[in-house]
Amino acid sequence: MARIPSIYPHVWRAPLLIWQGLFFVGPLILMVAMSFWLVRNYRMEPDFVLANWERMLTRDYFWSAYQVTFLRASLAAALASLFAFPASYALAFKVSATARRWAIFFLIVPFFTSYLVRVYAWQVLLAESGPVNAVIGFAGMGPFTMLNSGFGAMVGYLTLVMPLVVILQTFSLAAIDRNLIEAAWNLGASPRRTLVRVIVPAARVGLILGAVFAFILSFGDFVSPFYLGGSKPPTLSILIIDTTKSGQQWPRAAVVAVMMILTLFTVAFAAVGAAYRRKA
């Protein structure tokens, strides 16, 4: 007798599919469609023209902003991964489980406050007349211009992504089978060799996911490049704002947004592929 397929797996799956359909796929389709619309008298009218794509993709300022955004997001991902690793390593291997739980709790606490508020706090701290320059001044240096610069924007990006990267790295490192590490030691591997040949490959998924999240969040961030970077130079998110402000060109802004999403898809798929790739 043929087995009647159970409907339960589909029932359990349905909420996720409905959610993604309503709040991701639907808006995404609308945004792609919108990129072919026209604006007449400050009002969007459904159409199918390539003018918005042609206009945005032939502008030097679009590609300049694209380059800046990609490089900054890559740098933020690299720096966050690098700076987070020692902390994650210590939390995973050097402290007690209780201390690790507390540390994870304190890494989550920053998310209780608005990111915008934290960035405003950085504005005060990094100002030429602010506390950071005051401390540097005691050493007879400065004041340094930190706000309205790439440095300022990077501080903002790291504020946004560092806690998340540390958490992802810590979970990944803590899940490594200790027997592998002990085996490496027993076989005479130096600590450095153990780190490079055993720990990092074993935690590869978490390390790559941490970097990818850092890239994704930084790539789309508006707050840091605007409020700490002084829009100098503008990133793609700032370009979206500029495009909508002038002439209410939402369709052209949609072109920028679609390009951003395509980039993020490409990076995310490539990274996930690398994370779960089997060793040849």
Partner 1 sequence: MSMSHSQPTRRNLLATAAGAALTVPMINRAWAQEPTDINILAWYGHAEPDIVAEFEAQNNVRFVPKYYAGGDNMLALIAQSPPGTYDIILSDAEFVQQLNAAGYVEELDASLFPFDDFWPEYQNFPGHWTGGRLWSVMVRFGLLGVSYNTDTLSREEASSYNAYWNPKVAGKVGHFDWHLPSLGQISLLNGNRDPSPFDIDENAWKAVQERTLSLKPQVGGYFDYGGTFSSLKNGEMLAMCGIGDWITGVLQKDGAPVASVIPEEGGIQWTESYSIGKGSARQEVANKFIQYMLSPGGQVRSIQMAAYPGPSPTKSGWKAIQDANPAEAERSGLIEGHDQSPRKLLAEKRLFLRDIPRQQTLEDWNDFWSEYKTA
Indicate the residue among 219 and 226 with the shorter CB distance to partner 1: 226
Shorter beta-carbon distance to partner 1: residue 65 or 167: 65
- As a whole number of angstroms, the distance between CA 144 and CA 125 comes to 12
Q: Which is nearer to partner 1, 42 or 112 (CB)?
A: 42
State the binding string over 37-76 for partner 1 (x if CB under 8 A, else -). Answer: ----xxx---------------xxx--xx--x--------
Mark 192-221 with x for binding to partner 1 (rule: CB under 8 A) and - for no binding.
Answer: ------------------------------
Asked whether position 247 contacts partner 1 by CB under 8 A, the answer is yes
Segment interacting with partner 1, rule: CB under 8 A, options 73-81, 143-151, 256-264, 270-278: 143-151
Count residues near partner 1 (CB under 8 A): 32
Q: Which of 158, 226, 255, 271 binds partner 1 (CB under 8 A)?
A: 226
Indicate which single residue of 230, 261, 264, 268 sits in contact with partner 1 (rule: CB under 8 A): 230
The residue among 14 and 124 lying less far from partner 1, judged by its C-beta, is 124
Identify residues 146-165 at the interface with partner 1 (CB under 8 A). 147-148
Name beta bridge partners: 44: 39
Restricting to residues 5-44, name those near partner 1 by CB under 8 A. 41-43
Is the Cβ–Cβ distance between 81 and 210 less than 8 Å? Answer: yes
Cα 220 to its chain centre, rounded Å, is 7
Scanning residues 116 to 135, which ones bind partner 1 (CB under 8 A)? Answer: 123-124, 127-130
Tell me: does residue 190 bind partner 1 (CB under 8 A): no
Instruction: State the DSSP string of the chain.
Output: -PPPPPSHHHHHHHHHHHHHIIIIIHHHHHHHHHTT-EEETTEEE----SHHHHHHHT-HHHHHHHHHHHHHHHHHHHHHHHHHHHHHHIIIIIS-HHHHHHHHHHHHGGGGS-HHHHHHHHHHHHSTTSHHHHHHHHTT------SSSHHHHHHHHHHHHHHHHHHHHHHHHHTS-HHHHHHHHHTT--HHHHIIIIIHHHTHHHHHHHHHHHHHHHHH--HIIIIITTTSS--HHHHHHHHHHTTT-HHHHHHHHHHHHHHHHHHHHHHHHHHHPPP-
Asked if 227 touches partner 1 (CB under 8 A), the answer is yes
Min CB(122)–partner 1 separation in Å: 12
Minimum CB–partner distance for residue 266 and partner 1 (Å): 23
Binding site for partner 1 (CB under 8 A): 41-43, 59-61, 64-65, 68, 123-124, 127-130, 145, 147-148, 226-227, 229-234, 239, 242, 245-248
